Amino acid sequence: MSILNSKIPEGPISEKWSNHKAEIKVVSPANKRKLEVIVIGTGLAGASAAASLSELGYNVKAFCYQDSPRRAHSIAAQGGINAAKNYQNDNDSVYRLFYDTIKGGDYRSREANVHRLAEVSPNIIDQCVAQGVPFAREYGGLLSNRSFGGVLVSRTFYARGQTGQQLLLGAYSALNRQIAEGGVKMYTRHEMIDLVTIEGKARGIIARDLVTGEIKRFGAHAVVIASGGYGNVFFLSTNAMGSNASASWVCYKKGAFFANPCYAQIHPTCIPVHGSQQSKLTLMSESLRNDGRVWAPKKLDDAEKLRKGIIGPNDISDEDRDFYLERRYPSYGNLVPRDVASRAAKERCDAGFGVNSEGKAVYLDFKYAIERLGKGTIEKRYGNLFQMYEKITDTDPYKEPMQIYPAIHYTMGGTWVDYNLMTSVPGLYAIGEANFSDHGANRLGASALMQGLADGYFVLPYTIGDYLAGEIMVPKIDTNKPEFIEAEKAVVTRLNTLFNIKGKTPVDHFHKKLGQIMWDHVGMARNEQGLLQAIKQIQELRAEFYQDLLVPGELKNVNPELEKAGRVADFIELGELFARDALNRNESCGGHFREESSTDEGEAKRDDENFAYVAAWEFKGVDTEPLLHKEALVFETIHLTQRSYK
Amino acid sequence: MSNFLSATIGRKVFMSLTGLFLILFLTLHLSLNLFLIFDDSGILFNQAANFMATNPMIKIMEPILALGFIIHIIWATWITLINMRARPQGYASGDQLLKWWAPSKNMFILGGMILVFLVLHIFNFWVKLKITGDPLLAKATGTAAEMHNTYALVSNLFINFPLYDLLYVIAGILVGLHITHGFWSAFQTIGLSNIKWMKRLKFLANLIGVIFAVGFSAIPIYFLLKF
Amino acid sequence: MADKILNKIYVKVWRQNNPTAKGRFETYTLENISQGNSFLEMMDILNDQLIRGGKDPIAFDHDCREGICGSCSLYINGHAHGPDTMVTTCQLHMRKFNEGQTITVEPWRVGAFPVIKDVMVDRTAFEKIQQAGGFISVNTGGVPDGNTIAISQDDAEEAMDAAACIGCGACAATCKNSSAMLFLAAKVSQFAKLPQGQVEAKRRAVAMYAKMDELGFGGCTNTGACELACPKSISIAHIARLNREYLKAKIAD
């Protein structure tokens, strides 16, 4: 029924990847030199892919909108990276990591991809150590591990609370080495604004130079999208201000299917929203839940007093504190997966137990850990996070519990890819958060870094060869071909359109409004009526946007407002698809919670009979409903059960 | 060693080595000068001054010392000019991070003022001792060998010219300030420092700076108060 | 814990339309700014006001807004990253400012960081320094197991202290000599502390140093301003290690 071919190799799960590697084609070194690859984005996935491809001999052009590849938002990941090393002798294994990821993803990911991820995970740690990543070490000099949510073993490697930074700087250093050697041509402050396809194959991009405003054409034999997720469709998220979905979105419009857009992760431990002018939300690492205890007051009366500021959290005795995660999920306690912890916090706040003035916060308390381990140990483990919290909120988390509330953090959905990470457009690849494949409906903590680097270092460099082997006779792509000229024209027209609306309202206003619609109706709990309403409201917002947008400045100069306008225009369209997908998926799974589908205890209830598939959407026009393709998820190895962390 | 001399770090190594050498010289200079205070008859000081004037080792060191000064001064000027060029446009709001008087920010100015004093100091003593001579120098007493009465030259200046006393006190303080930064900074530049040792070196730098400032100023003050 | 409202503040900011244009200061008045807002949120509000008033908004670099990407810069009232310690501009809050205060906002003034527009500068020079040797020359794959070489916890921690650098440029911006030494030292020192990095330590120190000089940064005079301005409090002890590595390489040369 489907035109989707996921190209999952035959054979037992543990042999699929090695069999596949044995079968796929390899490009000779002499031919690699003749081939060009474009990589969009320089986060963990993009930087590692660009560096690795260049090391293999391909000519790489890498793009990022920031002024340096090191600033991609992978840099902000705090807690750690998972790997099935079993250094702790706690019975971890490739299988257990595979199993945990499938279960954590609420059985909505592709088994073969996840197993491959678990298989290559140990190599990532080795690679990073060789690059000089200063992972935490034990006194004996060996690598240290910590625990993360949703698992029963300790397999997370970390570098203080800055693991993402250190891993990205590792990949960035590899990238720098290739730039210096000439294998990678780096384009910073460049934003991809269109994909160019020739005879159905991805052959290049159109990019805007964000300094001069110049529109440029770049050709290549393959294009790799590593531009991250679309969490900023909510405006307020833990993403960077510039994080955007435009690269993925133009690919969607050029024929790349977009899969599972409704799977967005809401992270339970963020600093609560504060006032109406807030620009972004700050995450407090999940690792804090190793030692912090989450609670809300037991008595409504206490909650009321806390909201009014009459009493403080330390005035509430232990008996009057409701450690609701420990109460509801005794076996995982504070370390339940993110989706579960987030919904539990929302449940408490909706029931009136929220503790900040808006009633949208619960406590994460370190009092008990400090009593048990001493302040010094806690400082060593989380010092930088505590300092960050204090700078933002002006309260000292050593003395008073942190206030936390869930916020949009990561998007599991993304561009549909097959086992080779190729999208439905030949020659177009998507890696890292930009694709959909590994995390199902919910991502486990410390798995994003793992996936980004797995794709970039150890998967794409192999699988891209299978396609490029067929392209060795194709000469250097001529960017004067009509397809390029047409694409450039379309881009210029679009920018002119946005620039010439000359309405009254700056772009941020529309972005905030979109975010509000998304959070209200397509946030932590969704239902049919709300989703229908959201779709309608987003369509209205789109119309308003194209009538009333005001973009100041010049087209041919630095113009952040113009950049944002393009991104928000795409977000508005994406938001609609997001809501449409959420409407279609009338079941609860992972980060997607449909109120119509829950157990009596308020837990998410999957519907495997009707929804054990990947929803891949095909673009049919902005005002036309997209076409849904279903890729059935076949579980050969793992038996589907209702997820339980009790 | 290619490019070493033209590299910013190479230039700084010269500053640091000559600086440490000059501190060594100043230590010797100060210890000898303190004889001025500890023996009012002047015999001890005259003997020391005579030793310095006649010992062949010291004679060899004299031009090296001069060279040390010259390199330290020329290199400082060179480095300062290059460093100024690195910021073509300054800040309207200035620098509010380090205090305006922080020695580390003002080494070139401190050094320049010390240089002005040094010229004066050379005219006060060295020129008279070595070139022009002075009537006061003739009357050395209480020693067996014949020698200059350097003590008379020094004590005369400090007893009879309070303005010089003031200048010498200021110079002592300037040298002290210069050293509070220069001493540890020299070790830092040649790489002989780390987190633990930096604290120790900074402490030592402050201690040496205070000793130099107090030591050098004590001499004119002593003569002013005592006589 | 309600935050105080600043009824009126004045923002005196550097405006320059492009790298070659002559710049000037302009002063804008802002009303009703909550002290709970971050500095950049205040800038957002100012830009909204400018756009609605038909003026060109102020271009400034920013991205993660949680103090880790190193995009944000700004020299505020005589301080790189503003008058607070251990923060980037995006983590600076309006609590640090008073009613009626004039806040002067300038771009990094470093010859090697030319102004692109307004208070946005070009830090490509930092990229070039990293490309000159800020890496360990290993290809992907074929590396030994992560636990093959034990690294003492102290060494790993010290390497991490240095590796915390976010490449924002505050060190060079605040240094009276516009020196990039702390930035350089952070990378060289991180690798010098790890066995993996020692293999090419000499080559790295010399190459990165030469590149810094070539790009027109000033030299280090050990004022220590950089470590005070550094949002990650990277110690100038790392500069000593850089010097040591460099001199070792040069003496052997």
Q: Can you say how many angstroms the Cα of residue A591 is from the centroid of all Cα atoms in its chain?
A: 12
Q: Where are the alpha helices (DSSP H) in C116-152?
A: 124-131
Report the distance separating Cα B126 and Cα A149, nearest Å. Answer: 79
Residues 121-180 of C with CB under 8 A from B: 174, 176-179
Q: Which of residues 111-150 of B touch C (CB under 8 A)?
A: none
Pairing relationship of beta strands A59-63 and A81-82 according to DSSP bridges = unpaired
Q: Do A143 and C146 touch (CB under 8 A)?
A: yes
- Do A388 and C91 make contact, defined as CB atoms within 8 angstroms? yes
- The SS3 of residue A317 is coil
- C-alpha to C-alpha distance for C129 and C127, rounded to whole angstroms: 5
All partners of chain A with 3 or more CB pairs under 8 angstroms: C
Q: So what's the pLDDT on residue A1?
A: 42
Q: Mark yes or no for CB contact C218/B102 under 8 Å.
A: no
If asked whether residues C165 and C142 sit together in one domain, one would say yes
CATH number, domain of B154, equals 1.20.1300.10
In a domain, B1, yes or no: no
- Active-site residue, A307 included: no
pLDDT in 10s for each residue of chain C, 253 residues = 468 999 999 999 999 999 999 999 999 999 999 999 999 999 999 999 999 999 999 999 999 999 999 999 999 999 999 999 999 999 999 999 999 999 999 999 999 999 999 999 999 999 999 999 999 999 999 999 999 999 999 999 999 999 999 999 999 999 999 999 999 999 999 999 999 999 999 999 999 999 999 999 999 999 999 999 999 999 999 999 999 999 999 888 7
Q: Is B96 on the interface with C (CB under 8 A)?
A: yes
User: How far is residue A248 CA from its own chain's centroid?
Assistant: 13
Is any Cβ of chain C less than 8 angstroms from the Cβ of B18? no
Domain boundary among C73, C89, C116: C116
Instruction: Name the residue range of residue C29's domain.
Output: 5-116
Distance of alpha carbon B64 from alpha carbon C83, whole angstroms: 47
DSSP calls for A383-437:
HHHHHHHHHHHS--TTTSPEEEEEEEEEE--EE---TTSB-SSTTEEE-GGGB-S
Tokens standing for A540?
A: 């209205």
What is d(CA A441, CA A443) in angstroms, rounded to the nearest whole number?
Answer: 7
* Level-2 CATH architecture, domain A268-407: Alpha-Beta Complex (3.90)
Within its chain, how far is the Cα of B165 from the centroid? 16
Q: What is the H or E stretch that residue C11 is in?
A: strand C5-15
Tally of residues, chain A: 646
The one catalytic residue among A71, A338, A343, A348: A338
Q: Do B189 and C213 touch (CB under 8 A)?
A: no
pTM: 0.96
For the purposes of burial, counting CB atoms within 10 Å of the CB of A88, is it exposed (0-12), middle (13-18) or buried (19 or more)? middle
CB pairs under 8 A between B and C: 144
- The ipTM estimated for the assembled molecules is 0.98
Of B79, B87, B187, the CB nearest to C178: B87
- Which residue type does A135 have? F
Helix (H, G, I), strand (E, B) or coil at A527: coil
CB contact under 8 A, A461 and C134: no
**Among C56, C62, C49, C54, residue whose Cα is nearest residue C90:** C62
State how far the alpha carbon of B143 is from the alpha carbons of A395, B41, B53, B128, B130, in Å.
Answer: 76, 11, 16, 21, 21
Residue B88 lies in a domain: no
**CB nearest to C136's CB, from A173, A242, A309:** A173
Element housing A59 (H / E): strand A59-63
Three-class SS string for A66-116? Answer: CCCHHHCHHHHCCCCEECCCCCCCCCCCHHHHHHHHHHHCCCCCCHHHHHH
Token look-up 């290549």 returns A220
Q: Name the residue of chain B whose CA is nearest to C105's CA.
A: B93
Structural domain ending residue among the three candidates C116, C134, C159: C116
Q: Taking CB atoms and an 8 Å cutoff, what residues of chain A touch C156?
A: 134-137
Q: Is B79 in contact with B107 (CB distance < 8 Å)? A: no
Query: Which residues, at least 6 apart from C106, have a Cβ–Cβ distance to it below 8 Å?
Result: B91, B92, B93, C13, C14, C74, C75, C76, C119
Q: How many domains does chain B have?
A: 1
Dihedral, B165, B167, B173, B174 alpha carbons, nearest 10: -160
Using the Cβ of C101 and the Cβ atoms of chain B, whether some distance falls under 8 Å is answered with: no
Cα–Cα distance, A242 to C18 (Å, whole number): 22
**Is C101 in the same domain as C141?**
no
Which residues between 162 and 221 in chain B have a beta carbon less than 8 angstroms from any beta carbon of chain C? 181, 184-185, 187-195, 198
Q: Is the dihedral of CA A587, A590, A593, A597 positive or negative?
A: positive
Q: Are strands A428-430 and A222-225 parallel, antiparallel or unpaired?
A: parallel
The whole-angstrom separation of Cα A435 and Cα A415 is: 5
Q: What is the DSSP code string of A584-611?
A: H--S-BTTB-BTTSB-TTS-B---HHHH
**C210 close to B (CB below 8 A):** yes
Domain co-membership, C101 together with C139 = no
Domain boundaries, chain A: 268-407, 482-613
Q: How many domains would you assign to chain C? A: 2
Q: Find the CB nearest A552 among C51, C67, C70.
A: C51
Which of B81, B84, B91 is the best residue to mutate to test the C interface, defined by the most C CB atoms within 10 Å of its own CB?
A: B91
Are residue C101 and residue C198 in the same domain, yes or no? no
Which residues on C lie below 8 Å from B191 (Cβ)? 240-248
**Residue C54, Cβ neighbours under 10 Å: how many?**
8
Domain of residue B129: give its range: 8-82+107-226
Collect the ranges in chain B with pLDDT lower than 70.
1-2, 139-145
What CATH number corresponds to the domain at position C33? 3.10.20.30
What pLDDT digit, counting tens, does each position of B14-47 carry? 999 999 999 999 999 999 999 999 999 888 999 9
Residues of chain A with pLDDT below 70 are 1-2
Q: Are residues C107 and C139 both part of a single domain?
A: no
CA-nearest residue to A358 within chain C is C2
Cβ-based contacts of A177 with chain C (< 8 Å) = 131, 135, 137
Q: pLDDT tens for residues C82-107?
A: 999 999 999 999 999 999 999 999 99
Residues contacting C225, CB < 8 A, separation 6+? B95, B97, B98, B105, C174, C175, C176
For the segment A385-398, what is each residue's pLDDT rounded down to a tens digit? 898 899 889 999 99
Contacting residues of B for C247, CB less than 8 Å apart: 9, 13, 190-191
- Residue B24 domain-assigned? yes
User: Tokens 């079941």, residue?
Assistant: A587
The residue of chain C with its CA nearest to that of A241 is C63
Indicate whether B2 belongs to any domain.
no
- B200 CB neighbours in chain C (<8 A) are none
For tokens 């020094």, name the residue: B154
Taking the C-alpha atoms of residue B59 and residue A4, their distance in angstroms, rounded to an integer, is: 93
Q: What residues have CB less than 8 Å from A261, skipping those under 6 apart? A: A230, A411, A413, A574, A577, A578, A581, A617
Instruction: Give the pair of three-digit tokens for residue B72.
Output: 């330290």
C85 three-class SS: coil
Give B106's contacts in chain C (Cβ within 8 Å). Answer: none
**Contacts by residues B82-86 (CB-CB < 8 Å, ≥ 24 positions apart):** B82/B8, B82/C218, B82/C219, B83/C176, B83/C177, B83/C178, B83/C179, B83/C218, B83/C219, B83/C221, B84/C177, B84/C218, B85/C111, B85/C216, B85/C218, B86/C110, B86/C111, B86/C112, B86/C177, B86/C178, B86/C179, B86/C216, B86/C217, B86/C218
Give strand ranges (E) for A86-189.
156-157, 184-187
Same fold, A268-407 and A482-613: no
Q: Say how many C-beta atoms besides its own lie within 10 A of residue B224's C-beta.
A: 18
DSSP assignments along B129-174, one per residue? IIII--GGGG---S-SS----HHHHHHHHHHH-HHHHHHHHHHHHH
pLDDT of residue B10: 87
d(CA A610, CA A617): 17
Name the residue of chain C whose CA is nearest to B93's CA. C78
Architecture category of domain A482-613 in CATH: Up-down Bundle (1.20)
In a domain, B3, yes or no: no
CA torsion angle B104 B106 B111 B116 (round to 10): -160
d(CA B154, CA A579): 93
H helices of A418-527, in order, are 448-453, 460-468, 482-500, 507-521
Task: Show Cβ contacts of residue A372 under 8 Å, excluding neighbours closer than 6 positions.
Answer: none
Within-domain flag for B73: yes
